[in-house]
Chains A and B, each alone.
Chain A
Amino acid sequence: MTPEKLSPLLCTIPLLPLAGAAINGFFGRKSSRKAISAIALLFCGLAFCMALFIAANFSSASAPYSFPLAHWIRSGNFTVDFDFYLDQLSLVMLLVVTGVGFLIHIYSVGYMWDDDGYYRFMSYLNLFMFFMLTLVLAKNYLLMFIGWEGVGLASYLLIGFWFVKDSAASAGKKAFIVNRIGDFGFLIALFLIIKRFGSLDFTTVFQAVTPLAKETSGAGLLTAIGILLMVGAAGKSAQIPLYVWLPDAMEGPTPVSALIHAATMVTAGVYMIARSHVIFEHAPMALMVVAIIGTLTALFAATIGIAQTDIKKVLAYSTVSQLGYMFMACGVAAFSAGIFHLMTHAFFKGLLFLAAGSVIHGIGGEQDMRKMGGLRVYMPWTFLTMSIATFAIAGFWPLAGFFSKDEILWKAYSSEYGSWVFWLLGVTTAFITSFYMFRLWFMTFFGDYRGAPAPAAHGHGSRAGAPAPHNHDHGQGEPHESPWVMLGPLAILAVLSVIGGWVEIGGRFEHFLAPVFQSGGTELATDTAEAASKTTEYLLMAVSLLAAGLGFLLSWTLYYRSPGVPARIAEGLGGIYRAVANKYYVDELYALLFVKPVVDGSTEILWHGVDQGVIDATVNNSADSARHVSDKLRHMQSGNLRSYAGWVAAGGALVIAYMVWMGVR
C-alpha cells in the first residue's frame, strides 16, 4: 500500500478512542452498561484493528509515514502543526498501546461492571488511549507534549477514580504534582530546542543535530537538553528522584494500574528518550545520567519490593525497577533493547497486574499478601497465567522477559557507553526481581488460605470507605475464579508473555528498529564486537539465568519450605528491614525537605503574611476606616430640625466670612 493511502489512516487511530470517550462521557450516565461497554470496546477495538491494518501494510522501505492533519501554530518562521508520524518505533508503540489497551478494556468490563462510575471509567480509559496514541504518533515535540500532559490527566483522573476515598484523592494529586516537576524539565528542554534549532519537528531538529560534533569534552547545550528531557522522563516514568508517585498510584482500580501504570503511560519516558536518541547520542554525559539513574532506580526499587506486603505495591515497585532497566538500556545507547523490554514488559507486567486484579477480585478486595495463600486451588487459570508472567519477569528462558532483560544486560556490558558496573548492578537487580516476584507468587498461591472466610459480608472491611468494585452476587466468602471476560485477556497476555521475546531471536527486532536508530555509531560498534564476544555473551546470559534461578530457590526456601524464617530474618535485620519496609523513608524525607517547607511557607508567609496581612488587610482596613468615618459623620444627620438649621447657618456664615475675607483682600 502506498504511503499516500496509508498515511491518512494515522490520524483516525487516536481520534477513534476520543470519539468513544466523548460518547461515553456525555451520554454514558443514562446508558445501559452493555451500551457503554459496546461503545468503549468498539472504538478501542477499531483503533487496534486499524493499527494491525497499518502494521500489515507497513513497509520499511517507504517508512517513515507522515500525515499533516491541520495547521496549528504559525508564527514567523516557527511552525507547529498537528502532524502525525509513523516509523518503526512508533509502530511498535502503536501496537503495544492499542493491543494491550484493548485487552485491558475487555478485562475492565468484567472488573468494573458493578462499579457505580462504570461509564466514567470507560470514558477515562478511552480518553487515555487517545492521548497515549497522540503521544506516540506525534511528529513534533509539542504535539507529543499534549499527549504527554493528556495521559497525565487521564492518570490523575483514574488514580483518583474512587475519589471519595481520601487516600485515592491524595494519591492522584501526588501523581499530578510530581509529574509537574518532570514536565517543567521537559518544557525547558523544549524551549532550549526552539531557541537553538527554531523548530520542534522531530525530523527538522534531528537533521540539525546530526552534523553537530559530539559534546564529549564538556557539557553543552545538547547535554542540557538531554538532561532536561531526562528530568521529564523521570517524572513520567517514575525514576529516581521522582518515582514516589507510582507506588501511591496503585490506589486506582487495578486495570488502570495495569494499563497506565505498568504497560503504557509510564513507558512514555522511555519512548521519548528513544525518540530523541539523536540528541542523546551527541551528548554522552546526558546518556551517562540516563544510565546511572536507570540503574540506580532498578536496584533501589527492587530492594523496596522485597519487603512490601501489598500485592499491588510489590508490582508497582517492580514496575519502577523494570523501567529502570529500560532507562539503563537507553543510557548505554541500546535504544532498541530498551524498546524491546518496554514491549515485553507491557505484556508480562500488564498480565501480572491483571492477574493480581483477578486475585483481589476473587477474594473480595483484599490486597495484603499475608492474607492470601493457597489460591492456586481456587483460581487455577489466574494461577497459570500469573505463573507465566512471574517466570517471564524473573527472566527464565524461553519467556519474553529473558530475551529483553538479557539483551539489556548484554548491551550494558558491551556497549561503548556501557560498563561492567551497570551489568553487575543489573544482574543483582535481576536476582532481587526474581526473589520478590517468587515471594509474591508463593505467598499468594501456595500454602494455606490465610484470609478470613468472611460469610456474607464478603470481606470488604480492609478497604473501608472504598466503593468496592466487587459487589457481585457471589455470597460466599470463599475465593473464586474470575469470569471469562477477565480470564480471556489474561490468557492472551500469557501467550504474548511467552512468545513476545521470540521476535528478537536472530536480532530481528533490532534490525526492524535499526532504520530509526541507525544514525548513531552503535550499530557499527555492535557489529564488530559481536563475533569476538559471542562467548562472553553466552557467559553473561548464563550468569543472569543463574541469578534468576537463585532468586527462585531463595524464595522457595524462605516462603514455601520454611515460611517462619522470613519473620526471623526480618527481626534479625532490625533497622535495615524497617527501613526497607518503610520504603527507605523517602516519602518522609521528601515530606520533610520539600512538602513541609512549602506548606509551612505557604501557611506562614503566603497565607498569614501576604494574603491575610497585605491583601485582606488592605481591603478590610479601607472598609473599616470608611465605616468609622461614616459612623462619625452620620451624627450630623440627626433628624433634629434645629441642628440642621444650625448647619445651614454655620455654612452660610462660612460663605459670608469667606467672601468678606476675599473682599478685604
Chain B
Amino acid sequence: MVPLTYYLLLSGILFACGVLGFLIKRNIITIFMSIELMLNGVNLSFVAFAAHWHALSGQIFVFFVMVVAAAEAAVGLAIIIAVYRTRETLNVDQVNLLKL
C-alpha cells in the first residue's frame, strides 16, 4: 500500500508544475495545459484522500472537476482559436489591449 504522503507529494509536484508552467510559458495552449495539470494535481489529492478515508465523496467530486474541466476546455479552446484568428499569435504578452 502506497502511503498517502506519496500521493500528496506527487499531487503537489503536479500542481507546482502547473503553476510554474502557467507563470513561465507564453504560449496560450501551453498555459491552458498547465491549468489542466493543476486541476489534475488537485484531482489526485481528492482521490488519494478519498481512498485514505474510505469516503466516496472525494471521488464523486473528481468527476465534477473533470466535467468542469471538459467544459472549460471546450470554451477555452474556442477562445484560443478566436484569438488566433484575429491576432494571428498565441503569445499572451501580445494579447494586451487592456494593459495600461
Contacts and interface: CB of A to CB of B under 8 A. Distances in A.
A642 B23 contact: yes
A259 to B, nearest CB: 72
A649 B92 contact: no
B96 interface: yes
B23 A639 contact: no
B92 A639 contact: no
B72 to A, nearest CB: 16
B2 interface: no
Contacts of A640: 93, 96, 99
A645 B22 contact: yes
A535 interface: no
Contacts of A639: 96, 98-100
Interface residues of B, number: 12
Given A637-B100, A640-B96, A642-B26, 6 more contacts: A639-B98, A639-B99, A641-B92, A645-B19, A645-B22, A645-B23
A634 to B, nearest CB: 7
Contacts, number: 26
Interface string B22-62: 11101000000000000000000000000000000000000
Interface in A633-665: 634, 637-642, 645-646, 649
A602 to B, nearest CB: 46
Contacts of B26: 642
A260 to B, nearest CB: 68
Contacts of B98: 639
Q: Which 4 A-B pairs have the closest CB atoms?
A: A639-B99, A641-B92, A649-B19, A639-B98
B22 A642 contact: yes
9 contacts: A639-B100, A640-B93, A640-B99, A641-B92, A642-B22, A645-B22, A645-B23, A646-B23, A649-B22
Contacts of B19: 645, 649
Contacts of A641: 92, 95
Nearest to A652: B19
Contacts of A646: 23
Contacts of B99: 638-640
Contacts of B24: 642
Interface of B: 19, 22-24, 26, 92-93, 95-96, 98-100
Contacts of A637: 100
A633 to B, nearest CB: 12
Interface residues of A, number: 10
Which of A639, A641, A646 has most B Cβ within 10 Å? A641
Contacts of B22: 642, 645, 649
A638 B23 contact: no
Interface of A: 634, 637-642, 645-646, 649
A39 B23 CA distance: 89
B100 A649 contact: no
A630 to B, nearest CB: 13
Which of B23, B24, B99 has most A Cβ within 10 Å? B23
A640 B100 CA distance: 9
B23 A649 contact: yes
A447 to B, nearest CB: 87
A652 to B, nearest CB: 9
A645 B23 CA distance: 7
B78 to A, nearest CB: 18
Nearest to A646: B23
Nearest to A634: B100
Contacts of A638: 99-100
B100 A642 contact: no
Contacts of B95: 641
B92 A642 contact: yes
A646 B26 CA distance: 13
A34 to B, nearest CB: 72
A653 to B, nearest CB: 9
A646 B24 CA distance: 10
Contacts of A645: 19, 22-23
Contacts of B96: 639-640
A639 B99 CA distance: 4
Contacts of A642: 22-24, 26, 92-93
A642 B95 CA distance: 12
Nearest to A649: B19
A434 B91 CA distance: 105
Nearest to A635: B100
Nearest to B96: A639
A656 to B, nearest CB: 10
Contacts of B93: 640, 642
Contacts of B92: 641-642
Which of A637, A638, A639 has most B Cβ within 10 Å? A639
Contacts of A634: 100
A664 to B, nearest CB: 17
Contacts of B23: 642, 645-646, 649
Nearest to B25: A642
A634 B99 CA distance: 11
A640 B98 CA distance: 9
A639 B97 CA distance: 8
B16 to A, nearest CB: 10
A637 B98 CA distance: 11
A640 B96 CA distance: 7
Which of B24, B93, B100 has most A Cβ within 10 Å? B100
Contacts of B100: 634, 637-639
A646 B98 CA distance: 18
Which of A637, A638, A642 has most B Cβ within 10 Å? A642
A76 B99 CA distance: 72
B20 to A, nearest CB: 9
A646 B19 CA distance: 9
Nearest to B92: A641
Contacts of A649: 19, 22-23
Nearest to B95: A641
Nearest to A639: B99
Nearest to A641: B92
A474 to B, nearest CB: 76
B40 to A, nearest CB: 17
A644 to B, nearest CB: 10
Nearest to B28: A641
A649 to B, nearest CB: 5
B43 to A, nearest CB: 18
A519 B9 CA distance: 113
A159 B25 CA distance: 83
